[in-house]
């Protein structure tokens, strides 16, 4: 079975309304005012799971309850739950419908195992049946990261790439199933509902995930919190959506700017945007000019958390002045060559 065909047109910038709707549906069931217990996290995860039981779609509804055989990387069969989070995208002059579902293994080494299946299929006939860049990036980059042993993304379990049949919406159009690990936790749209201690845990987990992601030669253009999951129990984070991932040309490293880009620097939606003390501590130690320090070890993270305890927040509008003053101090103490 052949692999998806690459295309190289630039991805459209900005977030569509349908994309916003997708991630609203994933956590349907009401806003979370404060996520301060395991029970609340479990409830959020259950709401995510239950979407596959009651949310139907238009383009991909026929895939629900289907038994699908995956033979490219495994020899397993999976029953697809009802699809949800459907979007219709137009990119590279090709229109596609995209949705996801929770699938259950019915034949293979782990019957009952649940995973996520992302379904992408061409929705309008055109001269090209190539995968758009977003679909291409999601599949190939996930496969590359899985093969490298990376832990910053869900693992690719298997995939199907084929042409649609006469019974489907576009005969001869592309059809891609991506079967991937189902990771636990909540996405970072709920970051500001967490306690300060948990926000610190999130920051460290996100930093570690992005550090590994960058070290594997990737960066992400869609730095929205919905694209990262954080698990309270394991204190781990995963980048779960690779549509916006890109291969880096040259060195790529985690910096303090990533905290701001991924909206985990502080309480962004609050008046004056107060930055959390750990963000300030990290920027002080690793974000000042004249210092090129390696990524922090677990011990160094623990020391920064301890040093940040009890320190005040700094409003975002005052932070650059604070950092400039810190830079002057550091530059004056760096030995001249």
Domain borders along the chain are: 17-181, 186-333
Residue 295 carries which DSSP code? P
- Higher-confidence residue of 178 and 32: namely 178
> Quick check: 335 pLDDT over 70?
no
State in words which class domain 186-333 has. Answer: mainly alpha
Q: How confident is the model at residue 192 (pLDDT cuts 50, 70, 90)?
A: very high
State in words which class domain 17-181 has. Answer: alpha beta
Q: Under 8 Å CB-to-CB from 300, ≥6 apart: which residues?
A: none
> Quick check: 217 pLDDT over 90?
yes
Q: What is the pLDDT of residues 220-248, one digit of tens each?
A: 999 999 999 999 999 999 999 999 999 99
| Among 24, 23, 26, 22, CA closest to 45 | 26
| Among 51, 74, 49, CA closest to 180 | 74
Report CA Rg, the chain.
Answer: 22
Instruction: Copy the structure tokens of residue 256.
Output: 């303090």
- Half-sphere exposure at residue 105, Cβ-oriented, CA atoms within 13 angstroms: 19
Answer for the pair 262, 209: CB distance below 8 angstroms, yes or no: no
Residue 115: the pLDDT is 97
Instruction: Copy the structure tokens of residue 26.
Output: 């994933």
> Quick check: 334 pLDDT over 50?
no
Which range is least confidently modeled, 87-96, 129-138, 219-228, 295-304?
87-96
What does the mean pLDDT of the chain come to? 80
Q: Under 8 Å CB-to-CB from 298, ≥6 apart: which residues?
A: none
The C-alpha angle with vertex 90 and arms to 87 and 93, in degrees rounded to 5, equals 155
Strand runs labelled E in the chain: 67-70, 76-80, 84-91, 94-107, 114-122, 156-163, 174-181, 186-187, 218-220, 228-231, 236-239, 245-247, 274-275, 314-315
Instruction: Copy the structure tokens of residue 327.
Output: 């830079």
Residue 117: the pLDDT is 95
């Amino acid at each position: 079975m052949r692999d998806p065909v690459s295309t190289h047109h630039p991805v459209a910038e900005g977030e569509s309304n349908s994309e916003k709707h997708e991630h609203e549906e994933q956590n349907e069931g009401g806003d979370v005012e404060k996520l301060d217990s395991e029970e609340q996290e479990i409830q959020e995860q259950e709401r995510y799971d239950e979407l596959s039981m009651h949310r139907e779609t238009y383009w991909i509804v026929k895939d629900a309850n289907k038994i699908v055989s995956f033979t490219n990387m495994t020899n397993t069969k999976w029953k697809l739950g009802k699809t949800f989070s459907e979007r219709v995208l137009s990119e590279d002059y090709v229109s596609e419908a995209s949705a996801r579902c929770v699938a259950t293994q019915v034949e293979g080494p782990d019957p009952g195992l649940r995973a996520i299946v992302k379904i992408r299929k061409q929705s309008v006939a055109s001269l090209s049946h190539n995968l758009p860049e977003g679909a291409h990036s999601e599949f190939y980059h996930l496969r590359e990261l899985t093969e490298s042993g990376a832990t910053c993304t869900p693992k690719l379990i298997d995939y199907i790439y084929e042409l649609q049949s006469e019974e489907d919406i576009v005969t001869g159009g592309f059809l891609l199933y991506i079967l991937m690990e189902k990771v636990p936790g909540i996405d970072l749209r709920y970051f500001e509902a967490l306690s300060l201690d948990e926000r610190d845990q999130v920051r460290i987990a996100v930093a570690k995930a992005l550090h590994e992601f960058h070290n594997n030669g990737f960066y992400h253009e869609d730095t929205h919190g919905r694209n990262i999951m954080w698990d309270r129990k394991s204190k781990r984070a995963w980048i779960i959506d690779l549509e916006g991932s890109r291969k880096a040309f040259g060195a790529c490293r985690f910096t303090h700017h990533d905290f701001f880009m991924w909206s985990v620097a502080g309480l962004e939606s609050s008046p004056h945007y107060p930055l959390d003390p750990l963000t300030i501590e990290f920027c002080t130690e690793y974000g000042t000019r004249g210092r090129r320090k390696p990524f922090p070890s677990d011990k160094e993270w623990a020391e920064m958390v301890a040093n940040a305890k009890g320190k005040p927040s700094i409003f975002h509008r005052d932070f650059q002045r604070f950092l400039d003053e810190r830079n002057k101090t550091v530059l004056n103490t760096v030995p001249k060559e």
